[in-house]
Amino acid sequence: MSDLTDIVPNWLSSCDLEQARERLPMVYVDAIPVRINEQGEVTLVGLLLRGRPDGSISRAVISGRVLYGERVRDALIRHIEKDLGPVALPQIPPNPAPFTVAEYFPDETVTGFHDPRQHAVSLVYVVPVKGDCQPSQDALDLVWLTPEEAISNEVRAEMTGGQDLLVRLALAHVGQLP
């Protein structure tokens, strides 16, 4: 089996990525997948169950790096398909605009968004999905929760790095914060 760096020309090797993370912010996209009703109201929020680098397991939103030369829209589609499967059918406009920007820092006291590996700037989107979603790649499970359940103390306790705050911000942005 070939290494990912052999098939994706804009992918950094592990060593190059580590060096880049030490010197400059990385650009990411975060996507909160939602189901909407006929009136366009969010009825369900999709959260992944994901293994973390430290071996723990947590609930998470879709998140990943934007590759050099990759359009943000293409990065969103790539990460959504990677985590939710190829028939998730995300509804992304031709020129998507984030509803907020999250800055992740190794020091969790700076912004409330924490990534121990790096300083990352993430463009955050609420993305309606219409298709059949099946967790794939490194996503262990996908659960659809009502807005009330998604911001409950139990679910928030399962999230790390400030992603529980992203879910609250997303629901407030779409007018569905309970």
Q: 56-95 pLDDT, tens per residue?
A: 889 999 999 999 889 999 999 999 999 999 999 999 999 9
* Predicted model pTM: 0.86
Residue 3 confidence (pLDDT) above 60: no
* DSSP secondary structure string for all residues of 121-147: EEEEEEEEB-S-----TTEEEEEEE-H
For residue 24, what pLDDT is reported?
A: 80
As to burial, measured by CB atoms within 10 angstroms (0-12 exposed, 13-18 middle, 19+ buried), residue 53 is exposed
Q: What is the mean pLDDT of residues 51-58?
A: 80
Exposure of 141 in the CB half-sphere (CA atoms within 13 A): 7
Question: How far is CA 158 from each of CA 19, 58, 69, 125, 155, rounded to the nearest angstrom?
Answer: 31, 5, 34, 21, 5
Domain assignments of the chain as residue spans, ordered by start = 22-173
- Contact, 137 vs 130, CB < 8 A? no
What percentage of the chain has pLDDT greater than the value 70? 93
pLDDT digits (tens, 9 = 90+) for 18-50: 787 777 889 999 999 999 999 999 999 999 998
What is the third-level CATH fold of 22-173? Nucleoside Triphosphate Pyrophosphohydrolase (3.90.79)
Residues whose CB is less than 8 angstroms from the CB of residue 46 and which lie 6 or more positions away in sequence, other chains included: 32, 33, 34, 35, 84, 129, 133, 142, 143, 144, 145
